[in-house]
Amino acid sequence: MALAVFAVLALAAFFITWRPALDSQAAPVRFDQAQVQRGARLATLGMCASCHTVDPIKPFAGGLALKTPFGTVYSTNITPHAGTGIGGWSLEAFDRSMRQGVSRDGRLLYPAFPYNHYTKLAQDDMRALYAYFMTRPALAAPARANRMRFPFGFRPLVAFWNLLYLDETPWKTDPQQPADWNRGAYIANTLAHCTACHTPRTALGGPDLERQLDGGDAEDWYAPALNATSPSPLPWTREHLTHYLRTGIAPGHAVAGGPMQDVVVQLGQADEGEVAAIATYIHGFLKQAPERVTPARRDGPLPAPADDDPDLARMRLGYETYAMACASCHDAGRGVSSGAALHLQKAVALYDPDPRSLVHIIRQGIVPREGEAGRWMPGFATLLGDEQLTALAAYLRRYGAGAEPWPELNEAVKKAKQP
């Protein structure tokens, strides 16, 4: 009896996981130039270059290491190179990979590639993306081997993930919302895949859609909630959000750092109306968030710790570190000069529910990508020891945000040092 049950389960697993290989496309396809240009605009909104480009002189050749709780996945070459890219892929193969996470050879793709978002793309958008990528320069770039923790290197397990989290129903507009909101909702939930970072994940790595936009993770940075639980100390306007998504900076808000910098670089090249539509959609959630800093506390230098502070020694060390490393820029308040910076009472990283982003900012700074304009902040990893950095973060949390201490601060500082 047990053997029969095992045989049935094995057969069911085979049918769930097996996908056929699709024939290689022998001859290149000709594409309408307008369709290619449309695909270029869509690829920018999807920020495809952020994951599939490591070397700027080899766009879309892949090789970026994407670290996940289950191991490291390397992005692949999506140029039309016949041997190492997608040169032999038909539209059918491209469509299947985007909607179902299945490679042309039948292998299941790891959901670090956000096919669970792309599955809802309109067919005309899928054709345009295909036209764009099949007309890029063909670059030879063999795929790097993924480094997965046991047992996650066993690809058939992905099929069971798909059963739980892959919803292939077509995208539907909301008739109760205006056209720009619906356009923004479509882009944010498909191409731009905002929820991939800004929504919490379950223990199996799937999106916890009962907590849509409630804050998540991106490369060990905290991706803030974009709904009523947003930690932003000041409210967002739709206009400020649009400007931030295109430039990485907005009045009264901190500059983009970490993984968000790549997003901003891509959206800065996208159609302004499309980015404004994303802002309209996201702002519909963000406008529910309360203001977390009172007008009386918004500006000015941060104070010295109170003499009756229960953690006085650490707060004094944090204040001394702040005075030495931060005050010369941040006490001045943001201005036209790069030597001035936001008053830290307005910095969202101080209000986050965990300290990871603040720790990374202090250690790494905020540096624009090579050749890109933007605000610059030096990193202090080589200047501050763990004790100073921890004290500084604790001081900023208490005297900048006026919030309760982060219980996991020490662990966050130690983890940030790991390669």
DSSP 243-281: HHHHHS-BTTBPPP-TTHHHHHHHHTTS-HHHHHHHHHH
Assigned CATH for 14-165 = 1.10.760
Residue in the block written with tokens 């053997």: 3
pLDDT tens per residue, range 376-390:
899 999 999 999 999
Whether a cis peptide bond, with omega within 30° of 0, leads into 56 is no
What is residue 345's three-state secondary structure?
helix
pLDDT tens per residue, range 146-158:
999 999 999 999 9
pTM over 0.85: yes
Assigned token pair, 267:
């959206």
339 pLDDT more than 70:
no
Assigned token pair, 303:
């104070």
pLDDT tens per residue, range 5-36:
434 444 455 556 668 889 888 767 789 999 99
pLDDT tens per residue, range 67-93:
999 999 999 999 999 999 999 999 999
Assigned token pair, 80:
């039309």
Assigned token pair, 300:
């000015």
100 and 107 Cβ atoms separated by less than 8 Å: no
Say yes or no: do domains 14-165 and 295-416 share a fold.
yes
Query: Among 184, 171, 201, which residue's Cα sits nearest to residue 282?
Result: 184
Residue 108 CA to residue 409 CA, distance in Å, equals 38
DSSP code of 75?
-
pLDDT at position 124, please? 97
With both helix axes pointing from N to C terminus, report the angle between 260-267 and 238-247 in degrees, rounded to the nearest 10: 100
**Where exactly are the structural domains of the chain?**
14-165, 179-286, 295-416
CATH topology assigned to domain 295-416: Cytochrome Bc1 Complex; Chain D, domain 2 (1.10.760)
